[in-house]
Structure 1
């Protein structure tokens, strides 16, 4: 485990061991949260290190676009998977780099396209700031490369949990006017016109329809969530895009990775898109339960 330690300003790392786990063995589960920097303190910590000009009130974009709740339900999945078999362990990695500046789930040179944000945000122009962001991005990716190989390379499973906002806003591009565009998009008349997103969206296939998640898992999850009264779909808003790190890992470890989005308004006490939000533990657990059940089933079958 010495190769997996927290990196200040880059990643929170922890290992959960069941009471009968072999603490020297590779964990059965990796939970990787690439958009885990969801607290205002995460934003402020990096913003104070940057020297170049940035859009005014950029924290508004941070709050709207951060994956509040992904860490909470992802960690709860790990706890449930271990509770099902106390001889298991899980490795948890939470990225601490706000995607407002650089997206740890993108290739570093990725450009904005097909609804996917860029690697380095286009409004970051200062050369020293860009160098800082790329150094953080590379440190995180190097850590995650090792984590996927350590867990999935040994036959384990990886979960990449995300959350998204409740509506798809018609914002053409991310640029210096993003804060103004977001405020306009959230005006009541405009907000009511944006399409409502599915409550759960499983990101399991490429744009060409190739399945990268385990066979049968998407269907089982859709059935389980619908039994709880939730709308679940596969590929409703996103597919596995080649500009993402998730695509790279899911392709490398085909059939061992699950990526999904949950609407964050269903996880929080009150949906306040321009401010920090509080996740309710019982809601995180509710959405984690079907995922943990499916991962437990997959791991149990794999061990036979």
Structure 2
């Protein structure tokens, strides 16, 4: 309790509670957190390494995958190590600057993730609807420009969030009932009216994700129309198979994010620890599953990963070979 009193009275410190109501199970909760984080790092760094090493993978689709991997590494690293410190060592304090920075990185990553998924949908549209012009329309330089547009959009939309929070004074207790600095969790400890904060967060989430989902739906409606015009069933299957991984990632990402956002804002009857677990699922499962899905569903990437895995395992197999 002494640590709480010192920290809560310190104007430069917040207290992250972890998962209120499940304090006794924090050590057990930390196990899936830790395992998901390790798998996410291994998967995403493997993807970056293989794409970087293989010239044949220097294509728009794989460059977009690398963007997704970098986003997943950044968001999970900004959240999970701090959560593990809370679970394992009861290190619950975080500076105001550290809290606002973590919040910025997490919301920037979420916005960027959605923007990259839109760009991937456009990539699949061009690949299926204009295959002969694919290499001229989507050059690597153009993909880099699209990536910069996604980053600029995300930064401009997320920067006001910590600025709005820092313009208010915080209440005395400074205790955040969460594993990380979420926008609304921090806004609730502001002294004063937080209507602007609530409205801005809701409008940004609604507008940007509404626009992103609409653009993805448009891309796939055009893709389906183009596929239905093809007479060959084998061509149907081949065309749709190129979209399978992207569809799987979208089905994992958007429902979890939207359900978490809606329950956090409107699910008054849901227990706080359920809110927090749902919020963490997005940053736990998505970074872990993205490289696995693309590794399994994309044959070219799967073959290259297998080739490099064999190269790494061969020296060890030789070393341990019985004499």
Answer whether TM exceeds 0.5 for this pair. no
Is the strand fraction higher in 1 or 2? 1
- TM-score, normalised relative to structure 1: 0.29
The structure with higher relative contact order (CA 8 Å, sep 6+) is 2
